[in-house]
Amino acid sequence: MDWNNEREEENFLRLYKAVKNNHPKLLTEFQKLPRTRSKKILRQRLGSQYEVMQQGRSDWIAVTCGPEATRLLKQLCIWFAQTGYFKHNQKLFRGEIFSSIIPSEFLREEQFWEIVRKFSGMPIIFETGHNISNQFFYRYFSTEGGFFSIFQFGSPQFLFIVCAISEDHLKEDREIPSGWHRSGLVGPKL
């Protein structure tokens, strides 16, 4: 967030008040990091000082993300995977969801783009009759019993990777790599 932009600040304060009313725990978790630490994080995620300035993000401040925020982000991944599975497979979902949240600096990695090129879906997203696809990065692959997606709400935020595997296609003993979240069985009994 650009703390020096008045319009953005008004929008932030409006959202802050909404969060305060609905999730007061989040407010104690979201603490601004010191400016020097924020600059270091921005340079790691966005590139050199020049690149950060070119993107108009030199006044951004990093914030901490505590356990409640992490829990809500995991819930977002579960919701998105269930919704994507239903939308692209035309079936209700019951199974497990595997998700990972990765920092946006991985966008600079060629291996990341090799994976993205293998995803076949690039949907056009409409909200109240307006095309809002440019506000998202969303690629997916859907098949019988599975839905796989990478999505991001505006650059340079987190990238979310979700994998929804239906109950019929699950392997119970499968271990997951560090940094991934496994939801356990979700969805209505079919």
- pLDDT of 116-151, one tens digit each? 777 776 767 666 777 766 777 788 889 999 999 988
- pLDDT tens for each residue of 8-36: 667 767 766 766 667 777 777 777 778 88
DSSP-derived 3-state class of residue 90: coil
Q: Give the integer Cα–Cα distance in Å for 30 and 69.
A: 9
- Within 10 angstroms of residue 33's Cβ, the number of other Cβ atoms is 14
Residue-wise pLDDT for 35-73, tens only, equals 888 888 777 777 777 877 777 777 777 777 788 888 888
Q: Is residue 2 pLDDT above 50, yes or no?
A: no
Contact 35/63 with Cβ under 8 angstroms?
no
Query: What span, in angstroms and rounded, lies between the C-alpha atoms of 61 and 12?
Result: 13
Checking if the pLDDT of 7 tops 70, the result is no
Q: What is the CA radius of gyration of the chain?
A: 18
Q: What is residue 97's predicted lDDT score, i.e. its pLDDT?
A: 95
Residue showing tokens 């506000």: 135
